[in-house]
Amino acid sequence: MTAAELSAALSKLSNDRPNASVRVFTLAPYTVNVEHRTNQAQTASVHPTEAELFYVVDGSATMVTGGKLMADNKGIEGGTPTKLNKGDFFMVPKGVPHWFSQIDGTAMNIMSFHLPMP
């Protein structure tokens, strides 16, 4: 993927939703998305069968991993916070709850790589 292709994918994202996402390619069984996340409440996730690798394209945020998902995936109880900045990669192993607890500034752009793990 070239920088121009990444910019084109990011330009397709909506700024009016907390989690806008565009699939940029699939190489079965792997998928890669670009996401625009605004400074609004984010939902927590856990993927029982796949790891997820994040790359911060623009912006910064705090990612919480581990702990226990709260009701309706509104966050995580416990867990370990990690500050992520532009240019950082962050791997979340399969089965580990994860959540952007804070988006700094107005928004951030990330790439997320879904990596199925047998």
d(CA 98, CA 47) in angstroms, rounded, equals 9
Query: Residues 7-17: pLDDT tens digits?
Result: 888 887 766 56
> Does pTM surpass 0.75?
yes
CATH superfamily, domain at 3-116: Jelly Rolls (2.60.120.10)
Residue 29 scores a pLDDT above 80 = yes
Nearest to 111 by CA among 21, 44, 51: 21
pLDDT value for 98 = 98
* Cα distances (angstroms) measured from residue 26 to each of 33, 63, 93, 115: 9, 25, 20, 11
The structural domains of the chain, with segments of one domain joined by +, span 3-116
Query: Residues 66-90: pLDDT tens digits?
Result: 999 999 999 999 999 999 999 999 9
**Residue 102, φ and ψ in degrees, nearest 5:** -150, 125
| Placement of tokens 């790589």 in the chain | 113
